[in-house]
Amino acid sequence: MNFLQTNLNNFIREVNQIGGTSMNIEQKLFKAATKLIEERFPTGQGSAAAMCTEDGTILTSIAPETINPSTEVCVETGSICEAHKLNKVVTHTICVIREHENSEYKILTPCGVCQERLFFWGPYLKAAVYDEKNMYVYKTLEELQPYYWWKSYEKQAGIQGTKNK
């Protein structure tokens, strides 16, 4: 990718982050996650993740059920694996939970393990976090972890350490 293309891509990303498309993506992800919850868990507790990749692909996942609780993994895991399988860069993620079919949706910030896996795609990947007023807002991983451990290597590596800059 040459210099002009890189600048153009950065410009497009910035425009998307200011409003328009990004807002749509953020809302679309919430919708994708809640749709999956309603379909897969029509009653009782349900939770799902939805992620968006750079080309607009939406990936969704739920946590696998296990007999031994020590083998459980987060709902985001499936989408993360799927993105790697497709070799796509994740730009946005949301995790939604509902305690039962009549309760309101809650947004869960990615846990530390998921944040670590998401950092593969860079500090500007946006994750939905709980917001009292608007139910959720998206924050970059950098905002969630301003002292991320990779910072010690950034200068040495000459890059931000990840693909999504």
Residue numbers at the binding site for Zn ion (CB under 5 A): 74, 111, 113-114
Least separation in angstroms between CB 77 and Zn ion: 7
SS3 category, 100: coil
Question: Do the Cβ atoms of 137 and 128 come closer than 8 Å?
Answer: yes
Question: Do the Cβ atoms of 60 and 47 come closer than 8 Å?
Answer: no
Least separation in angstroms between CB 83 and Zn ion: 15
Nearest to Zn ion of 51, 74 (CB atom): 74
Nearest to Zn ion of 8, 113 (CB atom): 113
* Helices and strands (H and E) in the chain: how many: 6, 6
Nearest to Zn ion of 12, 113 (CB atom): 113
CB atoms within 10 A of CB 83: 23
Nearest to Zn ion of 93, 164 (CB atom): 93
Least separation in angstroms between CB 140 and Zn ion: 17
Read off the tokens for 1: 């990718």
Least separation in angstroms between CB 80 and Zn ion: 9
Cβ-closest residue to Zn ion?
Answer: 74
Residues 150 and 33: their CA atoms lie apart, in Å, by 30
What one-letter code names the amino acid at 90? V
